[in-house]
């Protein structure tokens, strides 16, 4: 199925003659507007304690409700990846991060309300100076720490997060 199959009307003029142009776009046969299907940006944070324990959250909402996740979320309009990871970690954990360091990115498909949102997930290493305000909030039902030996990528519910945790445990934790 074309990624824009559920978009039936031209977003520019409202015409119903909005048809598949190629594998990644639709074009309006009335006004000529071409709409391209592009990935949304999202962020995720690898946050460790001085004892090398990884901060994880348990997802409070679908998709993958109840599974493990890394703190993070979608990048808002006019926001950098760094601003987004700082905001998202604050919303989900109450923690303030400084100087997030970009590690790598992975594509993902995020199933949201019956629609597949294609994302490009940006992974950051983040440091915390003050842990006293840690709490689970927003999309996080629970916040806790895992020792390196307790980290099982299969417990993480989203595909890109599982893959990132595998990469991180093999490459970034020594």
Could you read off the pLDDT of 58-106 as tens digits, one per residue?
999 999 999 999 999 999 999 999 999 999 999 999 999 989 999 999 9
What domains lie within the chain, and their CATH numbers?
A: 1-38 (no CATH), 40-171 (3.90.79.10)
**C-alpha distances out from residue 48 to 54, 112, 116, 168, Å:** 5, 29, 31, 12
CB 104 within 8 A of CB 120: no
Q: Across residues 124-138, what is the average pLDDT? A: 95
pLDDT (0 to 100) of residue 119: 96
pLDDT (0 to 100) of residue 113: 85
**Taking the model in full, what pTM does it have?**
0.92
pLDDT tens digit sequence for 8-46 = 999 999 999 999 999 999 999 999 999 999 999 999 999
Please tell me what DSSP assigns to residue 39: P
CB 21 within 8 A of CB 27: yes
pLDDT tens digit sequence for 150-166 = 999 999 999 999 999 99
Rounded CA separation 24/119 (Å): 14
pLDDT (0 to 100) of residue 133: 93
Confidence of residue 173 (pLDDT cuts 50, 70, 90): low
Catalytic positions, please? 142
Percent of the chain whose pLDDT exceeds 70: 99
- Please return the burial class of 47, using the count of CB atoms within 10 Å of its CB with bins 0-12, 13-18 and 19+: buried
């Amino acid at each position: 199925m074309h990624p824009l199959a559920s978009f039936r009307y031209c977003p520019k003029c409202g015409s119903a003659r909005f048809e598949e142009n190629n594998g990644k776009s639709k074009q309006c046969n009335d006004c000529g507007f071409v709409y391209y299907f592009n990935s949304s940006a999202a962020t995720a944070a690898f946050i460790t304690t001085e004892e090398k324990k990884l901060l994880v959250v348990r997802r409070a909402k679908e998709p993958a409700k109840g599974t493990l996740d890394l703190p993070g979320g979608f990048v808002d309009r006019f926001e950098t990846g760094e601003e987004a990871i700082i905001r998202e970690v604050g919303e989900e954990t109450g923690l303030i991060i400084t100087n997030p360091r970009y590690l790598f990115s992975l594509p993902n498909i995020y199933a949201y309300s019956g629609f597949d949102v294609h994302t490009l997930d940006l992974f950051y290493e983040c440091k915390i100076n003050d842990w006293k305000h840690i709490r689970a909030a927003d999309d996080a039902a629970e916040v806790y720490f895992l020792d390196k030996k307790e980290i099982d990528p299969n417990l993480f519910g989203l595909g890109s997060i599982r893959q990132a945790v595998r990469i991180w445990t093999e490459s970034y934790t020594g």
